[in-house]
Chains A and B, each alone.
Chain A
Amino acid sequence: MTELSPLKIVVVGHVDHGKSTLVGRLLNDTGSLPAGKLEAVKAASEKRGVAFEWAFLLDALQAERDQGITIDTTQIRLKTKPRETIIIDAPGHREFLKNMITGAASADAAILVVDAVEGLQEQTRRHGYLLHLLGLRQVVVAVNKMDAVNYDIGRFAEVVAEMNAYLSGIGIEPQHIIPISAYNGANVVTRIDALDWFTGPTLIDGLTGFKAQAQPVELPLRFPVQDVLKLDERRIVVGRIESGRLRVGDEIVFNPSGKAARIASIESWGTKVPVIAAVAGQSVGITLDDHIFIERGQIGSHQLAAPREARAFRANLFWLGTQALEVGQRYKLRLATSEQTVEVERIVKVVDLDDLKSDSVTRVDRHAVAEVVLRSKVALALDEFSENSRLGRFVLVDGFDIVGGGIVVGADAELSRLAQSVKSRNLFPVGHRASLEARWLLNGHKGGVIWLTGLSGAGKSTVAMEVEHQLLRKGRQVYVLDGDNLRQGLNSDLGFSPEDRTENIRRVGEVAHLFASAGTIVITAFISPYQADRDRVRTIQPETFHEVYVKAGVGECTKRDPKGLYAKAIKGEIPEFTGISAPYEAPEAPELVVETEGHSVESSVAQLLDYIDRTFALEAGEEADALRG
């Protein structure tokens, strides 16, 4: 008999992407079905003249009440080792969002199911966003129905890229993205040959690394007062320790009142020896050494690590009310055990889940998610969700109904890019005595920057090196700046975080323009995924900057995979890999597009050479001007 609490996993995703089929498969493949059940359901399907579906297993189990296994419309127990798994099958229909939230909020981890054919859909986005708001950080993406795309690695890579692009935008980093076919049982519990290119875990193995949500014992103490019981002359303050720990003798301050007293005893019934300490997750009763005023809703903490007190705060919330949330409306806010009236001061934005862009609007409709500012007349004791989720989340109540839930967020959490300003003030650039045009004349051609951008494997370096070779043979001054080469020296201190990528491109841009101002044709071969970064390089010397998009799709690049990087990225071994787990922003208005997908290297090289010949040639007038200068 295991003493481990079961691991609760919610299965979410768009309607018809195969959630129930997957749960049926998991029941069967983990041996959690009673003997003969599968055969009975198959026979019943045949009798009814319909093709068997794995989802029928769920229907059958829900209808039957005399089975020895635990049946639950929302919770199904799987016999897994070392701990049981409880699968919460959450409805994909938008109409049942409150049930999805009810199920998902109690889960330790989530499986986000996405159809390999359809890819990211509306409820995939919504459920993903809600997982984030609910604080679920253990997420596996199951790319289902791989059989319908012939187990194609290219299509898988495209879905992976699409999912990562979306999920990273909402702060979810899936532990695994796993190609499966729930219908065929491929990669759910067992592997099949058609997916032998995938070396990551099966779905069930992917789940074994997950942990039941641990009690936040190491965070500062948060002890929301649930009640004050007056029993046998004792005045017992009861509540559940939401985080941290307490012990007899500790001085506890209660906010928002700010009154403090020491713990005289931890009360219990049925234990033979006195309790002297307690930790997060325990529902305790304490007595205090001083008769201070305490009531439900106050938050006990240690003086040096007390929660914030705020009358107004910014929150991300999901709205379930049939009436829209509007500015000026009042609701009861419940945060831990406290309850206060709050007014909606501002609707900062409503998040459009289709593109994650937000509109400024005055109302939040049912099932929408929004950022709002809430104000209370009295101070509220709370934490930011990112610091302590237990005291950083709340529900709103309208009348008798819970109409929304939300998390307390701080100031703009947007990525702050490195400031792009010159730090030293006493700089006096020195002018050269030789003009740029003179250098051009000496070389017989103009200088400038050919900035190649595109996915890893699109062919940037291949094209750049071949073009350099051919230009040198024609006597041109040309030099290639290659990403991997520069990262060995000048940029060896940089990694692949968005900030480091930005700094990498900034340095390369400066170096490229120095070469260009020496009259050289500089070809750079960097993924340079962000448009803003490329635009910044352009502004250094716009007239000599040429943005060239070396274009090939994620699917194609995954198949080429010359450095074996996509294979690693898909397995999650390379974090923040452009195209798979980090975004790539295609150029908005490049000077040239070189399509390498479906074209030979030779023709791509020829295309770029032709462009350089046309744009870097000196014209007669320019030669004369240069001589005069």
Chain B
Amino acid sequence: MRTSQITVVLTMNDLDTLEQQSLFILREAFSRIEKLALLWSIGKDSCAVLWLVKKAFFGHVPFPIVHVDTGCKMDGMIEFRDRLAKEWNLPLIVGQNKAALKQGVGPHQGRITCCEALKTDGLKAIVAEHGFKGIIAGIRRDEEGTRAKERVFSPRGVDAGWNVHDQPPEFWDQFTTSVPPGASIRIHPILHWTELDIWRYIEREGIPLVDLYFDKGEGKRFRSLGCAPCTAPIASRASNIAEIIAELETTTVSERSGRAQDVESEDAFEKLRANGYM
């Protein structure tokens, strides 16, 4: 008898478990929150979330994809964004704090000031303009200390502020899905994934990615993407995903070590996030 060509997934491995939980979170957000948008940084994590959105909604992307353009993203990121947006017919919204850019805001005024003006304020402006109540962001607990404290559905105050010391309880997959007028909710569908999980998933699913993550023979690559002036490459010869995975399994260096704004001061990142940074 010929084996029939059907898929019966009756056991789930660790990546399946992570993926299925993320699909549940994304559908929960879509069902419960009226005006929803996905924040797309063009990095590997938000690309994975974008992929999960397409899985959750059967190939569709049923809410806007927001990219906050600081005007100084690294070479290749904007091209990749526009190419994928066209290929996948993404409902893309690009936001920019033009006023700040016009005034010449840049990292020379202090990285925190620059991040807050170009990224945090840029995001707040888009949220206000479109009236978004929910912003989906691809952050993970294992990235750094303050993100580790996050909830999956994280309420933000009227000023988009995050009160890390008084967060709502969250258990049994019952989330805080409604907030007072003017306030909003951040939704974190891959909070429970690790950097390694993301790479293994990208490899398994064949998720398209900007090539800045790979060494092109120069012995360096980017592990985390951001603005060109504040993002440094790491020394690495990993030129494909398999090599990146092998490298990550033994490294003792943190993922965001190349991100200068995190180490501007001891609590720089916590302050950034409390004020509404992603």
- Interface of A with B (CB < 8 Å)? 1-6, 34-35, 62-63, 65-75, 77, 98-99, 101-102, 105-106, 134, 215, 217, 226-227, 229, 231, 234, 236, 238-240, 245, 267-271, 273-279, 281-283, 285, 296, 320, 334, 393, 395, 400-402, 405
Contact = CB atoms under 8 A, between A and B. Distances in A.
Contacts of A6: 14
Nearest to A61: B145
A355 B162 CA distance: 40
B257 A66 contact: yes
What 9 A-B pairs come out closest when comparing CB atoms?
A68-B252, A105-B171, A98-B169, A72-B148, A283-B23, A227-B31, A5-B14, A70-B142, A395-B174
6 contacts: A3-B15, A73-B149, A106-B171, A270-B205, A281-B17, A320-B169
A276 B8 contact: yes
Contacts of A75: 141, 148
Nearest to B180: A400
Nearest to A395: B174
B255 to A, nearest CB: 9
B89 interface: no
Interface stretch (B52-60, B63-71, B75-83): B52-60
A503 B57 CA distance: 61
B132 interface: no
B7 A276 contact: yes
A626 B14 CA distance: 84
Given A73-B145, A238-B27, A274 B254 contact: no
A235 to B, nearest CB: 12
Contact of A3 (B14, B28, B262): B14
A571 to B, nearest CB: 33
Given A68-B251, A279-B10, A400 B179 contact: yes
Q: Which of A4, A66, A75 has the most CB of B within 10 A?
A: A66
A101 to B, nearest CB: 6
Given A240-B20, A282-B20, A4 B14 contact: yes
A75 B192 CA distance: 10
B8 A70 contact: no
Nearest to B206: A270
Interface string B240-265: 00000100010111101100001100
A558 to B, nearest CB: 39
Contacts, number: 154
A428 to B, nearest CB: 61
Given A3-B14, A68-B251, A275-B7, A283 B172 contact: no
A212 B14 CA distance: 11
Nearest to A390: B172
B223 to A, nearest CB: 12
Q: How large is the interface on B (under 10, 10 to 19, 20 to 34, 35 or more residues)?
A: 35 or more
A393 B172 contact: yes
B145 A405 contact: no
B13 A285 contact: no
A101 B30 contact: no
A13 B124 CA distance: 42
B157 to A, nearest CB: 12
Nearest to B269: A65
A62 B9 CA distance: 39
Q: Which of B57, B200, B245, B266 has the most CB of A within 10 A?
A: B57
B54 A240 contact: no
B9 A282 contact: yes
A402 B176 contact: yes
Given A1-B249, A226-B31, A71 B145 contact: yes
A428 B80 CA distance: 97
B1 interface: no
A70 B171 contact: no
Nearest to B142: A70
A74 B170 CA distance: 13
Contacts of A285: 58
Contacts of A400: 155, 176, 178-180
B176 A401 contact: yes
Nearest to B11: A279
B208 interface: no
Contacts of B219: none
Interface string B124-149: 00000000000000000110110011
Contacts of A234: 58
Nearest to A320: B169
Nearest to A217: B10
B24 interface: yes
Given A5-B17, A231-B58, A240-B20, 13 more contacts: A35-B252, A67-B254, A98-B169, A102-B169, A227-B31, A229-B58, A245-B10, A282-B12, A282-B20, A283-B20, A283-B23, A296-B31, A405-B172
